[in-house]
Structure 1
Amino acid sequence: MSDRGTGGDVPRGGHGPGNRSRGGQTGASGGRGGGRSGRPPRPVRDEARNVAYDLLRAVDERDAYANLLMPTLLRERRLSGRDAGLATELAYGTLRGLGTYDEIIAACSDRAPEDLDPPLLDAIRLGVHQLLKTRVPPHAAVGTTVDLVRLRVGTGASKYANAVLRKVAGRSLEQWLPIVAPDPDQDPIGHLAVAHSHPRWIVTAMRDAVGGDFEETAALLAADNERPRVTLVARPGRASVEELLTSGAEPARYSPYAAYLSEGDPGSIQAVAEARAAVQDEASQLVALALTRVPVAGGDSRWLDLCAGPGGKAGLLDAIAVHGDEAGSPAWKPDAVLREPDGRSETAREGASGPVAFPGGARLLAAELQYHRARLVRQATREAVVITADGTVPAWRAGVFDRVMVDAPCTGLGALRRRPEARWRRDPRSLPDLGRLQRGLLTSALEAVRPGGVVAYVTCSPHLAETAVVVGDVSAGRDDVETLDARAYLPEVDGLGEGPYAQFWPHRHGTDGMFLALLRRR
C-alpha cells in the first residue's frame, strides 16, 4: 500500500488497496491439522462466501460495480434470505474496510499486501472482516476462509492465510487501530484515513467540507462505513406512501413521498415492480422537491432535466409535474423548444418528436447524453419527453424553460455508503475535468431557463470543488442570476448548513451527501 501507515492514496495502478501487483508468491507458513492420513480435511464450499469472494475479484479484475453485480450473483447462485444477506455484508463490508484491513494484514504478515497474489489477498480480507467486524466466531471465520483459499487459490496459499488470520484474531479492531494507524496528534488526516478506511485525499476533502472539524469528519467517515437503509419513493399520482406502508415499509423522516424498507426485496413490492414507486435516497427526493417549491411568475409548464440518467430524479419530477402542479397549464410540443435536427440529438421515446397531448399540469423534457441511460429514464417516467442530447451543447431553444434540474456528474463522494468500492476507484486527478463539465452544464442550464425561472444545481458530493466553487464561478459577474437560500424550500430538514446552499449529510440526516443550490434567472 503506498504511503502505508499514513492512509495514502490509491496504491497500485488500479482502483484501491486491493488492486495490487500480480506477481507475488503466496508463502507457506502455518496450516490446519490433518486427519490420520496426514492430509488436511476436505474443504467445504460455502456459497455465500464464494459469492462475496467472486464479487471482490470482479471489482479487482473487471472494475465491476458492486451494487450492480451483487443482485446478478445472488440470482445466479439462487441465494436468498440469510445467505444472501451474509454474502452482501461480507462483500460490501470488506470493500469498505480495505484500507484498514490491509494495514492489519501487513502487521501480521512477513510481506506487504501488495506483494501477495490478489486472489489470496481478497480471501484474507474477507477473513479479516469476519474476525473484526462481524459476529462470526473466530474459529469459523478462520476455518471458512482457509477452506475458501484451498478451493479457489491453492493448498500452499491456505496455509499462509491460516497463519495470518490467526495473528489477526489475537486482537480486536479497537486494539489493532493504535498499532497500525498514525498518531492522531501528529497526523490526524492519516489517522482518520486508516481508522475509517478512506484514502487520504477524501479525508482531506471531507474535513474541508465540514469546516475543518475533525470530530465531525470522523463521524462522517464512520457513517460512510454503515450499511445504508433502503428508502423508497412513491411517485405522486401513481403510488402513495400508504401503499408502501401496507407493503411492509416504515414512515420516513423527511420526504412526503418516502418510506423506509428495513428488510426484504424492494422488487417484491407491487408498486416498485410496476415502476409506480422506486428505490431512491431521501435527499435525492428532497432536492427535486425543492426545485418544484420555488415560486415562479408567469407560466409554469415547461421543465427540463439536463442530465437525467439513470432517471431517479426525472421519475419524481415527471410525476410532480403532471400530478402535483395546478391543472390547466397550456400544453407544449417538443418542437416548440427543440432546435432543428442537426444530428446531435436522437429521441429515445418513440414519437417524442411529434405533438404530445397534455391533460394538464407541467411537462418534463429529460435529456441524457448516453442512449442506454436515456432508455432507463424512459422506464422511470410516464409523461416525460426523453431525448439523447449533450447538455453542454443544448438541443433546445434558449430561455424557454420554467424550471431546470442539473444533477451533474461528480465524484460521488456523498454516496460512498452505497458504492463501497468507489472510494478506491476515484482519483483526485479527475476533479479538473469534472469541474469543467459541471460549469458547462450549469452555464447551459442558466441559458435554457427563462427570466423568472429557476435552476437547481445538484451533486451527490460535498467536495467544495464540485459544489460551492462551481456555483460561485458560474454566477460570478452575472447580474441576471440570483442565488436563493435553498434551505428555505426544505423547511422539514435542519442542519443543512449556513446557506445559501443546502448540504445533506450521512451522519446528520441518514441520507446521501447531496448538495443543492437554487438559482433564479432575473
Structure 2
Amino acid sequence: MTSEQGGRSGHQNSARQNSGGGQRGGGVRRRDDAGRERNRSTGRNRTETAPGQRTRVADPARLVAFEVLRAVSADDAYANLVLPTRIRKHGLDRRDAGFATELTYGALRAQGTYDAILAKCVDRPLSELDPAILDALRIGAHQLMAMRVPTHAALDQTVGLARAVIGAGPSGLVNAVLRKVAAKELPQWLAELTDGLGDDVKIASIVHAHPEWIVRAMRQALVAHGRDVSEIEALLEADNAAPVVNLVALPGLGSLDEAFDAGFTPGELVIDSALSSGGDVGRLDSVRDGSVRVQDAGSQLVARALAAVMVSTEKTDGEERWLDMCAGPGGKAALLAALAAEQDAWMLANEPAPHRAKLVSQALAAVPADSWTVRTGDGRDIGREHPEAFDRILVDAPCTGLGALRRRPESRWRRKLSDVAELGPLQRELLESALAAVKPGGVVAYVTCSPHVAETIAVVEDAMRKRTDLELLDAGAALDAVSLSGSIGAGNTTSAVPAHRMMAQLWPHIHQSDAMFMALIRKN
C-alpha cells in the first residue's frame, strides 16, 4: 500500500478544507477532553450512520477486491492470478470469496461504464483522481449498480474501506461521489449516457462495457463467419457473464471422480471435462498433482481436434513427432502431450521465455517424461532448424486475447487497437515457420484466443497465398468429431469466401466457451 499512502496527504488536506473543518464565522474551534476537534454542524455529506457508528475498518471481501484492482491498475497484474492468492491471504470463507470474486470481476468488466457514470459525479477529470480513490469508487459503483447490496451498506462499507486503506480525507470524497451515483439506478444512467448518441457501436460500448474498437471487431468477426450482426448484443452479454470453471482430466492419467464428489458436473461440450461455478479447485488433490487441470472447453477442443485429425506422413523411428510451438504457460501443452503419449507419439513443447518454459515443464510433469521435451527458443527459428520434421504442429499464436474477456475482464481496457497491428507480423512469421517445419502430409493447427479477423482469417489467407503445397481442412468438422454435441461447425461457416468455409470459430454466446479460432492446414 506504499503508493497509496504516499499520495494520501494532499487528498486529506483538500478534503478537510472542502468539508468545512476550519473556523466558522470567526468562532473558536471546540475540542473535547482528548483535544480532538468537535464538529456540531449538520447536513454534512456523510454516510447515514452517526459518527461513532461509521465503519472504520475494511470488510475483508471488499478489501480483497480493492487489492486486486490496485494490482491490476498499478502493476498490470492479471486479476485471475492475483485474486486466489488474496482470498487465501485474508482467509475468506466460500461465501465471502464468492462476494469478492463477483465484486472484483464485475468492477473490472464494467469499468468503462462505471467511469462514464463517475465522470458525471466528480467535479474534475477522473485522470486527476488518485488511482486508489478511483478504484474504490469503481468498487462502490458496482455494488450500487449491479449487486444485490443495500444502498446504505454499499456506501458505509466502501467509505469504511477508503477510510481504512486510503485515509479519512479521501473517504469523504468517496462518500460524496457514491451518493450521487446512488441517486439513479443503472438503466437511468445508461439512458442518460446514451441519449442522442445515434451510433449503435457507441451505444453498445457504453451499455455492454466494451471499448468501441472491440465492438467493431466483434461485429466484423460475426459477419466474416457468416453470422448475423444482430448477435453482437448476445456476444457482448456473454463476455460479461461470470465464467464457469472448466476442468479437464488428462487422458490416461487423470480422473474427475474427486471433482464430481466436490459438486462439479460433467462438461457438455467435450469428453473428460467438468464444470463448476465456484469453489477453490486448488483444494482438489487431482488438480494439485497436475492430472486434472483448469482449462476452457474451447482450448480442450482445439487440442483434441489436432490430435485426432488424419495425417499421412512418414513416421520418424516409427512414431509421430508433435510440436507445440507457443507452449507457455502449458495448459494446451499438457493435454496435447497426454494425447501424444496415448498414441505413442512424442511432443516438443517450445516456449521463448525462460520463466514461462519453466511453467510448461511444471504443467507437463504429470505426463510420462519420455513423451515430451521442453525447448526454450524462438518458434520462428524452428522451421529453419528442423525443416519438415513434425507430423502435427500447434501454433497457439500470441494474440490480443479478445476471445477470453470473460476470464480476463481487465484485458478489454488494457488492450489497444494498435496491438492488433503489432502482433500481426509475429503471428505470420510463426505460422510460416510451422509450415516449413511440418512434414508433407502433416497438419498445422493455427489457433488464436481471439475472433478478430486480422488475427485469424487474414493471417491464414496470407499464408495460403504464399505457397502452393497447402490445403485447408474442414476445421468445423474436426471439432465436431471430438465434441460431445457434434454440432460445433453447424452454422459456423460462410459461403462468402471459399476459404472461410474451412475455418472454425467458437463463440461464448453459442458454445459457452472462449472465442477460440482454429484453422487446420495440411501440407500436400
**What is the TM-score of this pair, normalised by structure 1?**
0.84
Structure 1 residue 243 displacement after superposition: 5.4
Alignment partner, residue 218 of structure 1: 233
Select between 159-168 and 84-93 the one with higher mean Cα deviation. 159-168
- The residue number in structure 2 matching 1:516 is 518
- Residue 304 of structure 1 is aligned with which of 323, 326, 331? 323
Amino acid aligned to 1:315: A
Query: What is the identity, as a one-letter code, of the residue corresponding to 1:390?
Result: D
Describe how 1:269-288 pairs up with structure 2 within 5 A: 269-288=284-303
Q: Which residue of 2 aligns with 1:193?
A: 205
| Structure 1 position 410 matched with structure 2 position 412 | no
Q: How far has the Cα of 1:131 moved from its partner?
A: 0.8
Cα distance in 1 between the residues matched to 2:405 and 2:436: 33
Structure 1 residue 322: Cα displacement: 1.1
* Structure 1, gaps ≥5 residues long: 1-21, 326-360
Of 208, 221, 229 in structure 2, the residue corresponding to residue 209 of structure 1 is 221
> How far did 1:244 drift?
3.9
What CA distance in whole angstroms lies between the structure 1 residues aligned with 2:205 and 2:193? 11
Moved more, 397-406 or 238-247: 238-247
1:345-360 residue pairs with structure 2 within 5 A? none
SS in 2 for 1:141: helix
Q: Name the aligned partner's letter for residue 508 of structure 1.
A: I
Moved more, 303-312 or 61-70: 61-70
2:121 paired residue number: 108
Note if 1:497 corresponds to 2:493.
Answer: yes
Identity %: 50
Pick one of 386, 390, 393 that aligns with 2:374: 386
**Equivalent of 2:352, from 369, 378, 387?**
369
Deviation at 1:48, TM superposition (A): 1.1
If you compute each CA radius of gyration, which structure gives the higher value, 1 or 2?
A: 2
| Structure 1 range deviating more: 458-467 or 268-277 | 268-277
Does the residue aligned with 1:255 lie in a helix, a strand or coil? coil
Question: For 2:144 and 2:133, how far apart are their aligned partners in 1?
Answer: 17
Letter of the aligned partner of 2:374 in structure 1?
V
Q: Displacement of 1:104 after TM fit?
A: 1.1
* Equivalent residue number for residue 452 of structure 1: 441
User: Aligned partner of 1:319: which letter?
Assistant: A
Letter in 2 for 1:309: G
**Could you tell me whether the CA contact under 8 Å between 1:502 and 1:517 is conserved in 2?**
yes
* SS across alignment from 1:31: coil
How far apart are residue 257 of structure 1 and its match? 2.4
Task: Measure the CA separation in 2 of the matches of 1:453 and 1:42.
Answer: 65
Structure 1 residues 519 and 200, CA, compared in 2 at 3 Å: closer, same or farther?
A: same
- Shift in alpha-carbon separation, 1:156–1:286, aligned structure 2, 3 A: same
Shift of 1:30: 1.9
Task: Output one character per residue of 1:125-163: Cα deviation in whole Å (capped at 9) or x when no partner.
Answer: 111100111111111011111111222223332222222
The answer on whether the counterparts of 1:302 and 1:362 sit within 8 Å (CA) in structure 2 is: yes
Residue 429 (structure 2) aligns with: 440
Q: CA deviation at 1:515?
A: 0.3
CA distance in 1, matches of 2:195, 2:461: 36
Q: What corresponds to 2:282 in structure 1?
A: 267
- CA shift digits 1:489-517 (9 cap, x unpaired): 12222443332111011111110010000
Query: Which residue of structure 1 lines up, in the alignment, with residue 25 of structure 2?
Result: none
- The secondary structure found in structure 1 opposite 2:446 is strand
Does residue 473 of the first structure (1) align with residue 488 of the second (2)? no
Paired with 1:279 and 1:396, the residues of 2 have a C-alpha distance of: 33
Instruction: Give the aligned partner of residue 73 of structure 2.
Output: 60
1:258/1:120 CA distance change after superposition, 3 Å: same
Q: Which residue of 2 aligns with 1:82?
A: 95
Count of residue pairs the alignment pairs up: 462
More helix by share: 2
Structure 2 vs 1, CA of residues 33 and 454 (structure 1 numbering), >3 Å: closer, same or farther? closer
2:398, 2:149 → 1: CA distance? 39
What stretches of structure 2 of length at least 5 have no aligned partner?
1-8, 20-43, 481-485, 495-500
Partner residue in 2 for 1:11: none
* Residue number in structure 2 paired with 1:293: 308
Partner amino acid, structure 1, of 2:79? A
Deviation, structure 1 residue 62: 1.3
User: What is the identity, as a one-letter code, of the residue corresponding to 1:195?
Assistant: V
CA 1:34–1:378: 2 relative to 1, 3 Å? closer
> Which residue of the partner structure matches residue 256 of structure 1?
271
Residue type matched to 1:365 in 2?
L
What amino acid sits opposite 2:378 in the alignment?
Answer: D
Amino acid at match of 1:308: A
In structure 2, relative to structure 1, the CA distance for the partners of 1:387 and 1:447 (3 Å cut) is same
Distance 1:245 1:495, change over 3 A: farther
Q: What letter is aligned with 1:519?
A: I
Match of 1:488 in 2: 477
Residues 119-158 of structure 1 mapped to structure 2, 5 A cutoff: 119-158=132-171
Which residue in the other structure is 1:335 paired with?
none
Q: Counterpart of 1:472 in 2: which secondary structure?
A: helix
Aligned residues of 2:435 and 2:523 also touching (Cα < 8 A): yes
**Residues 30 and 160, structure 1, Cα contact 8 Å, conserved in 2:** no
| In structure 1, distance between residues paired with 2:356 and 2:416 | 24
Report what 2:416 is aligned to: 427
Structure 2: distance between partners of 1:23 and 1:211: 52
Please state whether the residue corresponding to 1:43 is helix, strand or coil.
Answer: coil
Q: 1:365 to 1:169 in 2, by over 3 A?
A: same
Q: Deviations over 1:401-438 (max 9, x none)?
A: 11000000000000011111111111111222210000
User: Would the aligned equivalents of 2:256 and 2:292 in 1 still touch at CA under 8 Å?
Assistant: no
Distance in 1, Cα, partners of 2:257 & 2:53: 57
